[in-house]
Chain A
Amino acid sequence: MSAASLEFSQHLRREWRFAPRRGPLIMMLVGVLCVVFNHLVLPLFPERAIAFMRVGFRLDDLAGVLALNDLMGVYFPTFFVGLAGSLGVVLLAREEHRLELLLAKPVRTADLVAARAVPVLAWTAGVGAVTSAAMAVAMAAHAGIGTSVSALGALGGGLFLTALTVVLLAALQVAFVRISDPFTGLLVACGAWFGTMMPTAVLLYRPDAFVGRPAALHGLAMPSLLWHEGTLGWLGPLSLLLALPLAVALARAAGARLERSDAL
């Protein structure tokens, strides 16, 4: 192990000790409650409302409809708890005039940003993983809803979305290091999140937009995670494993970008 990486790991351990835990733990509970709420309430909807989602998102049965809503229960809390933590890495510190103090530490800027971002991203991944596991348990335990989505497929879909969230938040950090107002950062992040949801809305209201574009349909619309649930059983966990080092690399790139910036 090189001296630089040793310094980074030591610094990471220090940042880890001070990383906020209460928010992610509460959001784990929120994610699990979302899943429970879906499985208790959605089956009580009239058939027309279920059919609206089933036909619109090309799902086979109630299991698909529940799984899609569960995926939203994974994506929404996971992304926004991660975003709340990510704002604290550079943006809030800059606004509160603490960034110069942090950068005065004998640590390279890339290491500093990565060490502050990694605990946030790890807790984000934890929230997504726990909610995905709850989703898998709910799919396995909920009888009579159909067989189109297995527990393993549901888990894989949730973990894939978690991986997407972790990478998206790390990529946003690259933008955050050049933004001075945290609320502008929040707005940019919300825009990015909506961008990932837009293809799913297009699928519901303008399915003809995907005619002749199977790659866009299967690569961008969220229900495709359920259409390929067999593949997601192994692709989801693998994506999350690959997302973590990629997120670290992006956080370091954000730090390198901050180092080149004049505006602290």
Chain B
Amino acid sequence: MTRLLWLDYLAALRERKTWIAAAMLVYAVLAIPLLLADPPPHVREAIAAWFHDADPFAVFMFVWIDLVMNKVVAFVPVILASGVVLRERDTGVLGLLAAKPLTLSRYFVVRTASTCAVMLTLYAATQLLGAAWFPGRVAGFRPGTFLAAMSLHAFAAVFATALAATVTVAVGRRGAGALVALMLLGLLVGLALVGFYQPDWYAMTLANPLTLGALAMRDLEHLSPSLLLPPMLALAGLTAVTIAIGAWVVRKVEA
């Protein structure tokens, strides 16, 4: 299974859609400093009030997470994961796979894990490129804090990929499955930071995995393992449960 996972990962990395997604992420890294060169006073004031931090770096982190990476997390996982198993069925390959000593549930786990790995690769490469490109271009940029905050958000990206794969096999049709996954992730992303805007709802929004991924925004000045590890563990657990549900649901798919 490990060998199959590795080969599937390599094959997915070579696909054109992966390269187009990578090009879009590179564009985002290059464009964001331009977008944030001179934010208007009302934007600076509002973000300073929401996150109790008047540092320009907090404005950057808000925009990077909310405007860029949360949108990436809503779209790219759907594009990468919504073909898992159903593409093989629709192209007539699933019957061939059924003759191999590998159950459909295990095949789903391998395909989803390799898709999560591709998402994580794209995600990590984007943050590393950002950490190299942003110093000197983004006011007050702190690479260490940036990488620590985004390492938590990466767990949300992996969860989103597992969710997209599971939702797609649960729906059973690729187009409709991608649409439902997109709507679900769009809703989670749309509500991810609501608890910061309306503090009365903060505790309730912690049920949203995408909020857990953005929890570093609570205290960028003092990021520590005690702040980052609990949401990371929660997201890792949610990802495992989501994949397990997908592995159970996928058994209904017929070749």
A residues sitting closer than 8 Å to B (CB atoms) are: 20, 23, 27, 30, 44-46, 48-49, 51-52, 55-56, 76-77, 80-81, 83-85, 87-88, 92, 95-97, 181-184, 186-188, 190-191, 194, 201-202, 204-208
Contacts and interface: CB of A to CB of B under 8 A. Distances in A.
Contacts of B178: 84, 186
A184 B82 CA distance: 12
Given A183-B82, A206-B37, A95 B46 contact: no
B175 A96 contact: no
B198 A187 contact: no
A184 B91 CA distance: 17
B182 to A, nearest CB: 6
Contacts of A44: 198
B210 to A, nearest CB: 16
A77 B183 contact: yes
A204 B62 CA distance: 13
A160 to B, nearest CB: 22
Contacts of B198: 44-46, 49
Interface stretch (B16-24, B218-226, B234-242): B16-24
9 contacts: A20-B176, A51-B46, A76-B186, A183-B82, A186-B79, A204-B43, A205-B67, A206-B36, A206-B38
B79 A190 contact: yes
B17 A201 contact: no
Given A48-B49, A205-B36, A184 B20 contact: yes
A80 B177 CA distance: 12
B179 A187 contact: no
A194 B67 CA distance: 11
A48 B45 CA distance: 9
A206 to B, nearest CB: 6
Question: Chain B binding site: helix, strand, loop or mixed by DSSP?
Answer: helix
Contacts of A190: 75, 79
B197 interface: yes
Interface string B29-61: 000001111111011001001100000000000
Interface in B162-185: 174-176, 178-179, 182-183
Contacts of B254: none
Contact of B17 (A30, A48, A183): A183
Given A191-B24, A205-B36, A51 B174 contact: no
Contacts of B182: 80
Nearest to B75: A190
B13 interface: no
A92 B16 contact: no
B40 A207 contact: yes
Contacts of A80: 179, 182-183
Contact of B43 (A56, A84, A187): A56
Contacts of A27: 179
Nearest to B83: A183
A37 to B, nearest CB: 9
Given A188-B20, A191-B24, A201-B67, A45 B43 contact: no
Contacts of A83: 179
Contacts of B34: 206
B19 to A, nearest CB: 9
Contacts of B92: 96-97
A51 B90 CA distance: 49
A23 B179 contact: yes
Nearest to B179: A84
B238 to A, nearest CB: 24
A88 B21 contact: no
- The residue among A85, A183, A188, A201 with the most chain B CB atoms within 10 A of its own CB is A183
Contact of A84 (B38, B49, B75, B176): B176
Contact of A95 (B21, B38, B91): B91
Contacts of A206: 34-39
Nearest to A23: B176
B35 A56 contact: no
Interface in B58-72: 63, 67, 71
Contacts of A95: 87, 90-91
Given A51-B46, A77-B183, 13 more contacts: A23-B175, A45-B198, A48-B50, A49-B46, A49-B198, A56-B40, A87-B175, A88-B175, A183-B17, A184-B16, A194-B71, A205-B36, A206-B36
A55 B42 contact: yes
